[in-house]
């Protein structure tokens, strides 16, 4: 999570949406960079609302604009699947080694997700709070140019993105049955994706 105090802007770090690259590019210009622990680095709206918003308000900033990047849901899950194929996870319950992407998505669609498929939800990450705290700008991961233009205009600095935390390649094919199930079970994530297009 990156906080730009004077610009009244907070860039939330939605996992698997290029947040590490934005941290590298913008950390020198940020008032606050939250890098650890992961629960705070990747603080969703509800955690921002609980921990950060009250602190900012006490410091006189009663409204920070929240910005988030959203990735197409199948691509987002594909990034998680590929990331969890890395060697450092070998033998752990979160590893996807030896598992097809189709099987991973089928597991993600179950009520009790196994550890390797327990990766959360983008829709839950940006879910508005009852007190009105919400993400006001949703950018598509695939629309890097739109996000960069917004940030450069808002912050008044050039943004040069490096390639960071790139997952290994892998077969991301899904059967029609599995994709239909995903779209049915995770309709909120696909609706969020459709909304993000309108916000950029």
Say if residues 134 and 128 touch (Cβ distance below 8 Å). Answer: yes
Model confidence at 199: pLDDT above 60: no
8 Å CB contact between 187 and 89: no
Q: CA 93, CA 115: separation in Å to the nearest integer?
A: 6
Domain boundaries, position 158: 2-198
Residue 159 pLDDT exceeds 80: yes
With 50 as the cut, is the pLDDT of residue 57 above it? yes
Mean pLDDT of all residues in 85-109: 95
Contact assessment for residue 56 and residue 47, using Cβ atoms and an 8 Å cutoff: no
DSSP-derived secondary structure for 74-106:
HHHHHHHHHHTTSGGGTTSTT--TT--HHHHHH
Statement: residue 200 has pLDDT above 50: no
Q: 44: which 2 tokens?
A: 């969703």
Average pLDDT across the chain, whole number: 91
Q: Determine how many CB atoms are found less than 10 A away from the CB of residue 64.
A: 20
Give the whole-number percent of the chain exceeding pLDDT 90: 76
- Of the two residues 163 and 133, the one the predictor is more confident about is 133
Please name every residue paired with 188 in a beta bridge, in sequence order, or none if there are none.
none
Q: How many domains does the chain have?
A: 1
pLDDT tens track for 117-129: 999 999 999 999 9
CA distances to 84, 86, 89 from 186, in Å:
21, 26, 26
Average confidence (pLDDT) over 137-148 = 91
């Amino acid at each position: 999570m990156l906080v730009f105090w004077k610009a009244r802007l907070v860039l939330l770090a939605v996992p698997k949406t290029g947040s590490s690259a934005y941290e590298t590019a913008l950390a020198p210009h940020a008032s606050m960079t939250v890098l650890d622990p992961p629960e705070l680095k990747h603080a969703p709206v509800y955690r921002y609302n609980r921990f950060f918003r009250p602190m900012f308000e006490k410091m006189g900033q009663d409204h920070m604009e929240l910005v988030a990047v959203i990735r197409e849901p199948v691509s987002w899950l594909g990034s998680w699947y590929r990331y969890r194929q890395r060697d450092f996870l070998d033998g752990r319950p979160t590893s996807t080694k030896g598992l097809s992407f189709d099987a991973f998505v089928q597991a993600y669609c179950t009520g009790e997700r196994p550890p390797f498929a327990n990766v959360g939800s983008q829709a839950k990450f940006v879910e508005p709070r009852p007190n009105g705290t919400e993400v006001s700008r949703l950018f598509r991961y695939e629309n890097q140019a739109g996000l960069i233009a917004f940030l450069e205009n808002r912050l008044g600095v050039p943004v040069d993105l490096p390639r960071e935390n790139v997952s290994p390649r892998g077969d991301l094919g899904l059967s029609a049955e599995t994709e239909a199930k995903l779209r049915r079970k995770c309709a909120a994530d696909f609706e969020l994706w459709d909304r993000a297009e309108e916000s950029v």
